[in-house]
């Protein structure tokens, strides 16, 4: 059994996964405290991880009907993410491993999102193109096999897709994180009511889109529910098109006919529908495996050589912009 810990952002996560990829427990404790700040406050997130991590690991063991004696390998997210938040889970996991002289696997968060596809019962295997779109990252990857690092095909020049959803939601007076709320509002609107930019080049770019919405909100009457719904629908369509067109190009370029999704934005209904129309075999994980979780970290750990005790004790974490998929 692998015990994995994930604390790269604001979710405190622990999971127990078998060597066969079967999830025995996948505990996710979301910190709703950030809502009132309109975004994740790094130090607040780190302090909440400190308070929660021990209980979350204990709950994962309880749900799996296991004890530390059943754990053969400990894994944790090393980065990218918020350094203070990462340090809590990473250090906690190292200490758990060291206390029982267990091997330890430091896992890249993005490799984790990809590895969510390998978990039972789906076991969606490479080769495939992966679209990882969340509040923190947006990239297209070519995944050739399970052991070598994936190749980054497309990245974002500015905001992540989820960030674009969240900023749009904020301009429309919805809460944080606002992706799902914006999508609910959009469901009653006309996606062709307004023209929004989808970014010009090969890479993703959402900064212009957000600015375009800002200008629209200044000239329109936002107390009109119809207007708000049309704005949301048109804005959502622009994000979906930006993601789908580049995904289509990536599938053509790699000649792959298989596509795996990851990240919170993969929960978006119109995005899933649009991608399903690309003709590739589509794997969209269940919601709890799309958003940040520790089961995916365990899945990634299955494919890498763990470090024996005590070689990992001095390991540090890394921030955004580092790691094998930077
Ligand atoms: O993967 P995730 O839980 O955390 C990060 O690593 O960021 O992704 C959260 C992001 C947020 O930006 C949220 O607004 C977005 O995913 N999101 C959605 C939907 N559900 C969550 N965006 C669009 N449509 C949704 N249904
Ligand atoms: Zn993530």
pLDDT digits (tens, 9 = 90+) for 168-227: 999 999 988 899 999 999 999 999 999 999 999 999 999 999 999 999 999 999 999 999
Ligand 2 centroid – CA 43 distance (Å): 18
The predicted structure's pLDDT at residue 188: 97
Sign of CA dihedral 112, 142, 40, 317: positive
Is residue 280 over pLDDT 80?
A: yes
Expressed in angstroms and rounded, the spacing between residue 113 Cα and the centre of ligand 1 is 13
Q: Which ligand is nearest to the CA of 266?
A: 1
- Confidence grade of residue 66 (pLDDT, cut at 50, 70, 90): very high
Q: What is the share, in percent, of the chain residues with pLDDT greater than 90?
A: 92
Mapped onto helix, strand or coil, the DSSP state of residue 170 is: helix
- The CA dihedral of 119, 124, 126, 129, to the nearest 10 degrees, is -110
Calpha distance 159→246 (Å, rounded) = 16
Q: From the CA of 289, which ligand is nearest?
A: 1
96 confidence band (pLDDT: 50, 70, 90): very high
pLDDT in tens, 227-277: 999 999 999 999 999 999 999 999 999 999 999 999 999 999 999 999 999
Burial 204-235 (b: 16+ CB within 10 A, else e): bbbbbbbebbeebbeeeeeeeeebbbbbbbbb
- Spell out which residues line ligand 1, taking CB within 6 angstroms: 9, 134-136, 162, 165-166, 177-180, 183, 263-265, 267-268, 291-292
Question: Which atom of ligand 1 is found nearest the CA of 135?
Answer: 7
- List of residues 6+ apart from 111 with CB closer than 8 A: 149, 150, 300, 324, 325
Nearest CA to ligand 1 atom 24: 268
The total of other beta-carbon atoms located within 10 Å of residue 139's CB is 26
Query: Mean pLDDT, to the nearest integer, of 145-156?
Result: 95
pTM to 2 decimal places: 0.95
pLDDT at 135 over 80: yes
Q: What is the pLDDT of residue 39?
A: 79
Q: What is the mean pLDDT of residues 152-173?
A: 97
Q: Which residues pair with 15 in a beta bridge?
A: 4, 26
pLDDT of residue 191: 98
Q: How far does the centroid of ligand 2 lie from the alpha carbon of residue 110, in Å?
A: 7
Phi, psi for 286 (deg, rounded to 5): -60, 155
Nearest atom of ligand 1 to the alpha carbon of 239: 23
Confidence tier at 32 by pLDDT (50, 70, 90): confident
């Amino acid at each position: 059994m692998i015990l994995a810990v994930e604390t790269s952002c604001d979710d405190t996560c622990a999971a127990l996964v078998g060597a066969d990829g079967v999830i025995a427990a996948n505990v996710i404790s979301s910190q709703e405290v950030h809502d009132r700040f309109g975004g994740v406050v790094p130090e607040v997130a780190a302090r909440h991880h400190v308070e929660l991590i021990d209980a979350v690991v204990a709950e994962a063991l309880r749900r799996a009907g296991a004890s530390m004696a059943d754990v053969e390998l400990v894994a944790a997210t090393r980065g990218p993410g918020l350094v203070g938040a990462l340090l809590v889970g990473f250090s906690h996991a190292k200490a758990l491993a060291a206390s029982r002289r267990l091997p330890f696997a430091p896992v890249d968060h993005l490799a984790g999102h990809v590895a969510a596809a390998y978990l039972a019962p789906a076991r969606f295997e490479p080769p495939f193109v992966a679209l990882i779109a969340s509040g923190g990252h947006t990239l297209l990857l070519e995944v050739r096999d399970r052991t070598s690092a994936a190749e980054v095909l497309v990245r974002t020049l500015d905001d992540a897709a989820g960030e674009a959803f969240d900023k749009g939601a904020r301009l429309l007076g919805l809460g944080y994180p606002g992706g799902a709320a914006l999508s609910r509002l959009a469901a009653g609107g006309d996606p062709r009511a307004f023209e929004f930019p989808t970014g010009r080049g090969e890479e993703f770019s959402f900064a212009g889109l957000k600015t375009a919405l800002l200008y629209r909100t200044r000239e329109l009457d936002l107390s009109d529910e119809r207007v708000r719904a049309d704005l949301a629908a048109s804005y959502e369509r622009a994000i979906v098109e930006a993601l789908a067109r580049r995904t289509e190009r990536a599938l053509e370029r790699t000649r792959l006919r298989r596509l795996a999704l990851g990240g919170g934005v993969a929960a978006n209904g119109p995005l899933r529908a649009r991608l399903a129309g690309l003709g590739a075999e589509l794997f969209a994980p269940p919601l709890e495996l799309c958003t940040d979780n520790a089961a995916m970290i365990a899945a990634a750990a299955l494919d890498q050589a763990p470090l024996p005790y005590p070689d990992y004790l001095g390991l540090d974490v890394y921030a955004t912009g580092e790691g094998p998929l930077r």
